[in-house]
Each structure stands twice: as structure tokens, then as C-alpha cells.
């Protein structure tokens, strides 16, 4: 008997503008001990299916048809009390967005413990032990100290791991993991995936793993289901799907996987677009609004010269406050970090989760003031400026946040979110022009103009990430800080977006600071790369040089762990070599 059986599931989101069908006629099953990989286009309805299984669709959403069976019991339309028993204990769920799924007011320990105590019959003491154990297993360093902290004190990847720890802590029979490793570096990703895998094999746990990472699919899943625009277009064993894809979408998807082995000029594009509802168009930057410069731009820096200089930046976070200075405990999130970014280049930052990448990005963006050290932008020391002096420069340094959802005002429509900086910095002449630009940007990130009237919570994880990118581009920045800009995107959309960035860079000399865990992407995108660990920069080099001959042991280790995709078929696929 299958552990989970989904039959003809149909899910709708009704709204005043009509009913949006998010999932249509989807059926699949998961057997005990099996890992089912769910891949597909961003916004295809993967997360929605997961939510529907545990009956937690967010409000207007409703299951319009189909059934779900768990161990033979029909769990769709169960009474609330019974489904509550199933959640946690039977089905462990890892949400896609780690930032917002942890309660900000409770410590990690409380959130772990309550899950264990609610679902398992154990004592307080052993629950505590188990909680610690779980944190350790997901690779959080110093779990005894960390467990007492609050979510906001964790880095993106660490929060994601806490989410995983919580979902696994109650020994569920089925795990639904919605992109569980997007914010994790390869070594930790590997550790987590092994953990899940061993759970599946040892305890016959079933698992649905939603991911965009073909490497992950290739390495740990048993079977794969491919989704496209709300439909399940293809499913089969991993090997079958990866090597002999049948559906054109699957084929193009696989062809777009970025390569870790050679650097290409542009990302290969997927040209399978079934309904062509949302058209990606390559932009002609010279005529495009994005290509125009406004008067206030810093144009003094010539291509190839230093645009950004980070000198000896230090930043500590207090982890334990105390009256006396000597009793306080800190985390050195940024330890004497120095680097420069030249105009027109892409500078990569890689490193362990929690190593301080986001922190340094935030320091540059002016969210955290550095404790010591200086930052120069176009030879102006921005770290020493007052807020007022700094404001005109801010527009030119934009950031794509690691957590797109929490970085968007939940009460604003997407079109307003994107239009606001344009209005504010007076980058367009008329209201009409602004609306045109916004629509255009939405098109470029593959959402379509109609998305503008929706609110952030109505989007899928990947869609939000694209909104975030569109917003960052709307100010026509000189320097774009991308903190995991494509972690939630499927490879095809990812390719589109990254190509867009590349175009902008080629034509306009856009400079980028690119943070990512995805080493193939780094290899494709960056000119130079720094490797970070424990707040320090370990190594810094030209990308190719670094990939070919890494110096530091940590770097070597990292590169070795890139999932292998040798068995990935590339033949007969439409690959555009730029």
C-alpha cells in the first residue's frame, strides 16, 4: 500500500478577478522509504499541493476536487481534530520560506520542544535532549548556545535548518520538504539530504522533496514528478526522467541546468513555453528604460576601476547581553573583511551557511553600521556618511534580499512595491510611463503585467523572489547586491533572470555582488569569488582560477561536494550557446 496517494487533486484560488486554478488534476503516490522529487516551474503549484495535503491552504485557496489518502485513510476533508493529529506526528512539513515560518517571539528551543512534546510521548528532559540532538544533526554549530536564541539571531540557512529540525523532530511517517536546502551551502546541504535519506531508508519514511536543484534530484530521489503550470506533466524514476525525459518541458528544464564544469557566456535558455502566457523577452538595453541613466548617477568611475571598496569591516552581534562588558557574548559575524569590487564585474561571495555573507551585504547596503572598518563607494566613504548625505547614494546600491517575502511590505500591491522607487527617485516622467515600466519589469522577470495588482502573499516563493529582483532593478542601480537571488527559481527561470542581469552588466556596466550557494551559478556568473567562513574571507581569486585550483582546504572540500550530474542527458536538447 502506498504511504501517500494523491488522486486528481485540483486546487483553486478564487478572487474577484476570477478563479485561478493553481493545481489541476494531479495524481501521484509516495511509498514508504521512497523519496519523490517534485520539480517544476516556479509557480507551478508545488507548494500548494504540499499545503493541500495537510489541509493548510492559505485563505481563499480551496481544494476543488480529488482526494488524498495517507496509509489508506482518506485525509482530505477530515474533521479538524483528526487532521491535527496527523500533522506533525504523521506528516512532517518543511515550509519553503524559513524566515517567516518561525515565530519571532519564541526561542528555537521552545519551538522545537513544543513540537516534540505535542507529538511524541516523552518526558520534558528527553525532549530537550532530542531537540539538541536534532539541531546538531542539521549542522548548527554550538547547539547548546544557539538553541536558546531567537529566530532573528539566525542566518537564513540556519533558520532553514531549524525548520527542518522541527519537521523531523516528531518522527513523522511522511516528510514534505518544500525546497529545504535553498539557503544551504553544499556541505550542509549534503549533510541534510543524507539525514533525510537515511531516515527514509532506515525507518521507511516517505518523502516528497520539492526542489529546483537538479543535482539534488539526481543524487537522492528515487522517483521524480515534473510539474508545469499546475499540471503534472511527467513522472517516473529519477534515472528515467533525467536521462530520457519525454515531455518537452522536462527536456528543456534539464538542458538549462547550469554547468559546473565549463563557463558559458550566457545561460542556455529553455524555449519550451507551452501556453506562452508569460513571455520572456530578451531586452534591448540600449533603447530600454533600464538603460537610461539619470543625472544623479555616479558616472565618474570608469569600467574596470574600483566601484566598491570594503576595508577591514568588523561586526559583532551580541548573543548574551549583560550589564558588565566582560560577561557579554558576541558572534563575530564579520571579521576584518576587505575586498574590492570593480565597476562592471560580478563579485561572488560563497561560503558556509552562517558565515556572514548576508551580514556583509547588509553592511554595504547600509542596514547595519559596521563596528569598525570603512566602506567606499565610488571613492566616497559611505560608512561615515549621515543618513541624509547617504540617501542619494542609496539608490545606486540595491539589494535583493535573501528572504524576498519578508522584505516586501505585506500591505502593498506588487505594482506599488515596484513603482515606488521609480516615483520616489523621479526616474520617470509621467504616471503612465511608470505603469509601463512596472509592467515591463514584471514581464522581464517572467511574471507578466497582470501580477501587479496582487499582493505579495499571493505568490509562490520563486515568484516573490522575482518581484524582489524587479524592485531592485527599478532604481537602475550601479551596484546590485544579490543575496541568493535565484535560490527558489527553477533552472529555466533562473537562466532567464541571470541572463537579464548579464545583459545589463554587459551593456551598462552593472556591478554585482553575488551571494550564492549554488556553485555552478557562481561559476557562470562571477568574475571573481571570495570564500567566507566564520566571518572571515578565506580565499579570493578569479573565478576560473578558484574553481580549477582552489587553495584553501575548505574551498577544496566545498568544490568536491558539488552534486554530480554526469548522468544528466544533454543530448538532443535545444541549447543556445551565446
Partner 1 sequence: MNSEQSLWGRISNSNVFYHFVRDKVAFISASILLLIILAAIFAPLLTSHNPNDLATLDVMDGEIPPVWTEEGDERFLLGTDDQGRDILSAILYGARVSLLIGICAVVLQCLLGVIIGLVAGYAGGRVDSLLMRLADIQLSFSSLMLAIIVLAFFRAFVGGDLYSQFAMVILIFVIGVAEWPQYARTIRACVLAEKEKEYVQAAQVMGFTTVRIMFRHILPNCLSPIFVISTVQIANAIISEAALSFLGLGMPVTQPSLGSLIKSGFDYLQSGQWWITIIPGLFLIVLVLVINLLGDWLRDVLNPKLYKG
Partner 2 sequence: MIIFLLKRLLQAVVVMFIISLIGFTIKDSLGDPVREMVGESVSEEEREALREKLGLNDPFIVQYGRFLKGAVQGDLGQSYFYKKPVTDVILSKLPATLELVFGATLIIIFFSVPLGVYCAIKPRSWLTKFIMGASIVGISVPVFLTGIFLMFIFGVILDYLPVFGRGELISVWGPWETGLFTLDGLAHLILPSITLSSLMLPLFIRLIRSEMTEVLHSEYIKFAWAKGLDKYRIWFRLALKNTMLPVITVGGVQIGTMVAYTILTETVFQWPGMGFMFLEAINRSDTPLIIGYLVFVGLIFVITNTLVDLIYGFIDPTIKVAGGK
Ligand X SMILES: Nc1ncnc2c1ncn2[C@@H]1O[C@H](COP(=O)(O)OP(=O)(O)OP(=O)(O)O)[C@@H](O)[C@H]1O
**Residues at the contact surface with partner 2, assessed by CB under 8 A:** 54, 56, 58-59, 80, 84-89, 93, 95, 97, 100-106, 114-115, 118-119, 150, 152-153, 163, 166-167, 170, 321, 323, 405
Q: How far is the CB of 161 from Mg ion (least distance, A)?
A: 12
DSSP-based three-state secondary structure for 514: strand
Which CB atom, from 318 or from 560, has the smaller least distance to ligand X? Answer: 318
Q: Is 558 in the site for ligand X (CB under 6 A)?
A: no
Q: According to the binding rule CB under 5 A, does residue 460 interact with Mg ion? A: yes
Binder among 96, 211, 383, 407 for ligand X (CB under 6 A): 96
- Residue in 398, 381, 403 with CA at minimum distance from that of residue 390: 381
Name which of ligand X, Mg ion, partner 2, none residue 446 binds, using a CB cut-off of 5 to 8 Å depending on partner kind: none
* Residue pair 347/292 in contact by the 8 Å Cβ criterion: no
Tell which residue, 243, 241, 221, 185, has the closest CA to residue 31: 221
CA-nearest of 75, 82, 71 to 9 is: 75
- Using rule CB under 8 A, residue 397 touches partner 1: yes
Compute the least distance from the CB of residue 470 to partner 2, in Å. 22
Rounded to the nearest whole angstrom, what is the least distance from the CB of residue 244 to partner 2 in the complex? Answer: 36
**Residue 80 binds which one of Mg ion, partner 2, ligand X, none, with CB within 5 to 8 A depending on kind?**
partner 2
Grid-cell match 533572470, residue found? 497
Q: Which stretch binds ligand X (CB under 6 A): 36-44, 418-426, 498-506, 553-561?
A: 36-44
Cα separations in angstroms, 258 against 104, 265, 492, 522, 525:
36, 11, 10, 10, 10
13 binds, among Mg ion, partner 1, partner 2, none (CB under 5 to 8 A by kind): partner 1
- Which of 3, 138, 333, 427 binds ligand X (CB under 6 A)? It is 333
Q: Which stretch binds ligand X (CB under 6 A): 46-54, 234-242, 408-416, 425-433?
A: 46-54
Interaction pattern, residues 382-421, with ligand X; x per rule: CB under 6 A: --------------------x-------------------
Task: By CB under 5 A, name the one of 88, 151, 156, 366 that touches Mg ion.
Answer: 156
Distance between CA atoms of residues 314 and 370, nearest Å: 6
Which one of partner 1, Mg ion, partner 2, none interacts with residue 358, CB within 5 to 8 A by kind?
Mg ion
In angstroms, what is the minimal distance from the CB of 572 to Mg ion? 30
Under 8 Å between Cβ of 250 and 241: yes
Question: Cβ 204 to partner 1, closest distance in Å?
Answer: 38
Cα–Cα nearest to 158, from 178, 134, 183: 183
Does residue 563 bind ligand X (CB under 6 A)?
no
Residue 70 near which of partner 1, Mg ion, ligand X, none (CB within 5-8 Å, type-dependent) = none
Closest CA to 489 of 36, 169, 122, 43: 43
Q: Does 456 bind Mg ion (CB under 5 A)?
A: no
Helix (H, G, I), strand (E, B) or coil at 311: strand
| 162 vs 170 by CB, closer to partner 1 | 162
SS3 124: helix
- φ/ψ bin of 33: left (φ > 0), alpha (ψ from -120 to 50), beta (otherwise): left
Please give the Cα distance from 288 to 308 (Å, whole number). 26
From partner 2, ligand X, partner 1, none, which one binds at residue 455 (CB under 5 to 8 Å depending on kind)? partner 1
Which helix (H) or strand (E) segment is 446 a member of?
Answer: none
Q: Which three cell numbers stand for residue 497?
A: 533572470
Q: How near is the Cβ of 571 to ligand X at its closest, in Å?
A: 27
- Using CA atoms, how far apart are residues 89 and 110, in angstroms rounded to an integer? 17
The order of strands in the sheet holding 174-178 is 91-94, 174-178, 206-210, 35-40, 223-228, 231-237
Start-to-end CA distance of the chain, whole Å, equals 49
| Residue 328 touches which member of ligand X, Mg ion, partner 1, none, C-beta under 5-8 Å by kind | none
Q: Which residues bind ligand X (CB under 6 A)?
A: 13, 20, 22, 42-48, 58, 60-61, 96, 152-158, 183, 317, 331, 333, 353-359, 402, 457-463, 488
Amino acid at each position: 500500500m502506498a504511504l501517500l496517494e494523491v488522486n486528481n487533486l485540483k486546487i483553486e484560488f478564487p478572487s474577484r478577478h476570477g478563479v485561478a486554478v493553481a493545481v489541476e488534476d494531479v495524481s501521484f503516490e509516495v511509498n514508504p522509504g521512497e523519496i519523490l522529487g517534485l520539480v517544476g516551474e516556479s509557480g507551478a503549484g508545488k507548494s500548494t499541493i504540499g499545503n493541500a495535503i495537510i489541509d493548510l491552504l492559505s485563505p481563499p485557496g480551496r481544494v476543488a476536487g480529488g482526494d488524498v489518502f495517507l496509509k489508506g485513510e482518506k485525509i482530505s476533508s477530515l474533521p479538524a481534530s483528526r487532521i491535527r493529529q496527523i500533522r506533525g506526528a504523521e506528516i512532517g512539513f518543511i515550509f519553503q520560506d524559513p524566515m517567516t515560518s518561525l515565530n519571532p517571539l519564541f526561542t528555537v528551543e521552545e519551538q522545537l520542544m513544543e513540537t516534540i512534546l505535542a507529538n511524541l510521548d516523552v518526558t520534558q528532559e528527553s525532549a530537550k535532549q532530542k531537540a539538541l540532538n536534532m539541531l546538531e544533526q542539521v549542522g548548527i554549530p554550538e547547539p547548546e548556545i544557539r538553541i536558546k536564541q531567537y529566530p532573528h539571531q539566525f542566518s537564513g540557512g540556519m533558520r532553514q535548518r531549524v525548520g527542518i529540525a522541527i519537521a523531523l523532530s516528531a518522527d513523522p511517517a511522511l516528510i514534505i520538504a518544500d525546497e529545504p536546502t535553498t539557503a544551504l551551502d553544499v556541505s550542509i546541504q549534503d549533510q541534510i539530504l543524507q539525514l533525510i535519506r537515511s531516515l527514509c531508508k532506515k525507518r521507511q519514511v516517505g518523502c516528497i522533496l520539492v526542489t529546483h536543484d537538479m543535482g539534488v534530484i539526481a543524487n537522492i530521489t528515487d522517483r521524480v514528478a515534473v510539474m508545469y503550470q499546475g499540471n503534472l506533466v511527467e513522472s517516473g524514476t529519477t534515472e528515467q526522467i533525467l536521462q530520457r525525459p519525454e515531455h518537452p518541458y522536462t527536456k528543456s528544464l534539464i538542458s538549462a541546468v547550469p554547468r559546473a564544469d565549463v563557463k558559458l557566456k550566457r545561460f542556455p535558455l529553455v524555449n519550451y513555453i507551452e501556453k506562452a502566457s508569460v513571455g520572456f523577452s530578451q531586452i534591448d538595453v540600449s533603447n530600454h528604460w533600464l538603460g537610461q541613466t539619470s543625472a544623479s548617477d555616479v558616472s565618474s568611475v570608469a569600467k574596470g576601476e574600483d566601484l566598491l571598496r570594503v576595508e577591514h569591516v568588523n561586526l559583532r552581534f551580541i548573543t548574551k547581553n549583560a550589564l558588565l562588558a566582560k560577561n557579554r557574548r558576541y558572534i563575530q559575524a564579520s571579521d576584518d573583511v576587505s575586498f574590492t569590487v570593480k565597476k562592471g564585474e560580478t563579485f561572488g561571495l560563497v561560503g558556509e551557511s552562517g558565515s556572514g555573507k548576508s551580514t556583509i551585504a547588509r553592511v554595504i547596503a547600509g542596514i547595519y553600521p559596521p563596528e569598525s572598518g570603512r566602506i567606499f563607494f565610488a571613492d566616497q566613504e559611505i560608512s561615515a556618511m549621515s543618513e541624509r548625505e547617504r540617501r542619494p547614494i542609496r539608490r545606486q546600491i540595491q539589494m535583493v534580499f535573501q528572504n524576498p517575502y519578508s522584505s516586501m511590505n505585506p500591505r502593498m500591491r506588487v505594482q506599488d512595491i515596484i513603482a515606488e522607487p521609480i516615483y520616489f527617485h523621479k526616474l520617470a516622467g509621467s504616471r503612465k510611463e511608470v505603469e509601463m515600466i512596472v509592467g515591463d519589469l514584471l514581464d522581464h522577470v517572467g511574471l507578466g503585467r497582470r501580477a501587479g495588482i496582487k499582493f505579495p502573499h499571493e505568490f509562490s516563493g520563486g515568484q516573490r523572489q522575482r518581484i524582489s529582483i524587479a524592485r531592485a532593478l527599478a532604481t537602475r542601480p550601479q551596484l546590485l547586491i544579490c543575496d541568493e537571488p535565484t535560490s527558489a527559481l527553477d533552472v529555466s527561470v533562473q537562466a532567464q533572470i541571470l541572463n537579464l542581469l548579464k545583459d545589463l552588466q554587459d551593456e551598462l556596466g552593472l556591478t554585482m555582488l553575488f551571494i550564492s550557494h549554488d556553485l555552478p551559478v557562481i561559476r557562470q556568473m562571477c568574475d571573481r569569488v571570495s570564500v567566507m567562513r566564520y566571518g572571515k574571507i578565506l580565499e579570493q581569486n578569479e573565478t576560473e582560477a578558484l574553481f580549477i585550483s582552489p587553495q584553501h582546504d575548505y574551498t577544496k572540500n566545498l568544490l568536491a561536494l558539488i552534486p554530480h550530474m554526469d548522468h544528466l542527458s544533454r543530448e538532443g536538447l535545444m541549447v543556445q550557446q551565446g
